[in-house]
Amino acid sequence: MPQTAPARTVMKPIWIALTDDWELRGDGGGDVAALQHRPALALMELYAGCGIPATFCVETLQQLAFERFADADPGLARGRDLWRETVARMAAGGFDVALHLHPQWLHAAHENGFWRLDRRWNLADYDDEEIEDAFARSLAYLRDVCRLPAPAAFRAGSWGACCPSGTILRCLRRHGIRIDVSVVNGLHFWGENVALDYRNLASPYRPYYPDADDIRRPAAAPGDVVEVPTQSIPLSGAQRLEVLAAKALRLLGRKLAGTLGRGAAAPRPGSPAAPRAVAAGLTAATTRSDHIIDLSRIDEVGQRLFDRLLDRVIDRALRQDRPPAFLVFENHTKCLLSPGHFRRIENALRHIRARHGDVVAFVTLREMADNLDRIRPALAH
Amino acid sequence: MDARRRAILAAALRARLADVDARPETGAAPRALPAPEPHADAEEALRRLMVSVVPRLAAGEADMEELRRLLAVVATAARPDDLRFLDAFHRVYELGAQGLPRGALPAAFHQAYRRLLAAALEELDG
């Protein structure tokens, strides 16, 4: 019988929101059943067993594309229906649903069994009308088709919310979305599909009111939206060596299993070539300076180091000003493809509970949004 | 436990204790929660309380008799060093403060909660 976890309580100075980006691959590849439905059910079961609430960041432009083509393709119809069923299970299970948008789906076409998506993966690279349309139609779908309450939080796909950020932030305000979690300190891409730089943020780990035009900068005055950075932590030199060692072990393991060199599938004949940005680092959680706290990539650093990184993130938050401290952790169901992934997540949660159960409460992004009056988001000095 | 962590927790417990002491139910004539059933399983009571009853409580739909019965079991098993049980009382108290009708939670709950808070604070200060 799984032990019941400590409940969310205002008595705890550290509030952790476990978020999961729920989506197919960025190039449209993958199967809803394998990459979304099954792992989401397993994750929900894991969280429910531990009594831990969580937030699914539901990528909705993909589903709108599926809806457009489902009548002509039974496979897409099944994927669409499975998406709806899974979201219904999230709601029934008491999980929070936040909005997640990967703009490459906005003008998606389905040809010869493959998706042809836009090559721009950063929402900030679209014009105002396109951004407003993406928000309006996605939120209408979640409200009218899925019968969900309006999301309280948002994460941009591929973390792409700048720059400029003005229209995105205006959309968040207009639609009553109070928290954005698109920013993660240290992340930077310069690729064909995404270019962004979140290095050296003025408020790298603590909530702040974002500047009207640049979501990376604190504003001069409070606003209606609060940026709660997804947590990351710098790796020491020794820890970087540990990461390299863990990677070498994984490669050795794959070589011994005979799977080395077969990890990345070559584009199938007739399919659009995979964007070069994938190779440029979108799949890498480790940036040059900071490691993203991503529960789906524990194996990249190993369980022990990941647990130590969690300790550092929580201890760092305890040293901050008055509680509660809001911490957002990342996850990707599309990467949870083996029992080992779930085992590592459960181990990490047990570690948090064992070492920090006295100070940590697990909450949803909606609960954070409902309690913004308890924190003091940073402003520009 | 480092000094800062201890100070943060102690401050939270003291504030909550003061809040609970200020409630009229706490100062009422001593009441006891119903005696737990023999062989009642505290883990199962805790799980049922947090997974089933508390969410319904938050939605205004809980069976108050079941709530009292489960709280009785949980209160009996609660120890200052096992946060899960104290956290269950935190959660129920916060729901009571937020939206339950006044007096929905019995005086016995507040008095049991007070005892747990005081014991936790003593454990921390000790």
Cβ contact B83–A6 (<8 Å): yes
Q: Given CB atoms, is B77 within the 8 Å cutoff of chain A?
A: no
Q: Is the pLDDT of residue A270 over 50?
A: no
Cβ contact A10–B5 (<8 Å): no
pLDDT of residue A63: 98
Is the Cα torsion angle B50, B52, B53, B55 positive or negative in sign?
Answer: positive
More confident residue, A53 or A32: A32
Buried b (16+ CB within 10 A) or exposed e, A15-34: bbbbbbbbbbbbbbbbebee
pLDDT of residue A280: 38
pLDDT average, residue stretch A29-56: 94
List pLDDT tens digits, range B34-56: 666 666 678 788 878 777 777 67
pLDDT of residue A282: 43
Read off the pLDDT band of A43 (50, 70, 90).
very high
Q: Which is nearest to A198 in space by CA: A183, A208, A214, A213? A: A183
pLDDT of residue A284: 43
Amino acid identity for residue A10 in this structure: V
pLDDT mean across residues, chain A: 88
More confident residue, A196 or A4: A196
What residue in B sits closest to A52 (Cα-Cα)? B51
Q: Reply yes or no: is the peptide bond before residue A163 cis, omega within 30 of 0.
A: yes
Q: Given CB atoms, is B19 within the 8 Å cutoff of chain A?
A: no
Query: Ranked by mean pLDDT, which of A3-7, A81-85, B18-22 comes out on top?
Result: A81-85
Residue-wise DSSP of A214-258:
-TTSB-SS--S-EE-PBPEEEPPHHHHHHHHHHHHHHHHHHHHHT
Amino acid identity for residue A263 in this structure: G
Q: Of B41, B50, B83, which to mutate for an interface test with A (greatest number of A Cβ within 10 Å)?
A: B83
Smallest Cβ–Cβ distance between B46 and the set A4, A8, A359 belongs to A4
pLDDT of residue A29: 92
List pLDDT tens digits, range A98-142: 999 999 999 999 999 999 999 999 999 999 999 999 999 999 999
pTM of the full structure: 0.86
List pLDDT tens digits, range A272-292: 444 443 433 444 444 456 899
The end-to-end CA distance of chain B, in Å, is: 12
Torsion angle (degrees, nearest 10) of CA A113, A118, A121, A124: -150
More confident residue, B19 or A168: A168
pLDDT average, residue stretch A357-368: 90
Q: Reply yes or no: is the peptide bond before residue A324 cis, omega within 30 of 0.
A: yes
pLDDT of residue A32: 97
pLDDT of residue A39: 97
List pLDDT tens digits, range A213-259: 999 999 999 999 999 999 999 998 888 888 888 788 878 887 887 65
What residue in A sits closest to B14 (Cα-Cα)? A11
Among A160-174, B71-85, B106-120, where is mean pLDDT lowest?
Answer: B71-85
Question: Using N-to-C axis directions, what is the helix angle for A339-356 and A303-318, rounded to 10°?
Answer: 40
Residue A179, classed as helix, strand or coil, is strand
pLDDT of residue B32: 67
Q: Given CB atoms, is A92 within the 8 Å cutoff of chain B?
A: no
Chain B residues touching A325 at Cβ < 8 A: none
Q: Are B71 and B91 in contact (CB under 8 A)?
A: no
Strands (E), A42-183: 55-59, 96-101, 109-111, 114-116, 153-156, 179-180
Chain A residues touching B8 at Cβ < 8 A: 13, 318, 323, 359
Q: Is the pLDDT of residue A300 over 70?
A: yes
Name the percent of chain B lying above pLDDT 70. Answer: 79
Residue-wise DSSP of A272-291:
PPPPHHIIIIIT--B-SSEE
What residue in A sits closest to B95 (Cα-Cα)? A9
What residue in B sits closest to A94 (Cα-Cα)? B55
List pLDDT tens digits, range B58-86: 667 778 788 888 888 887 777 766 777 78
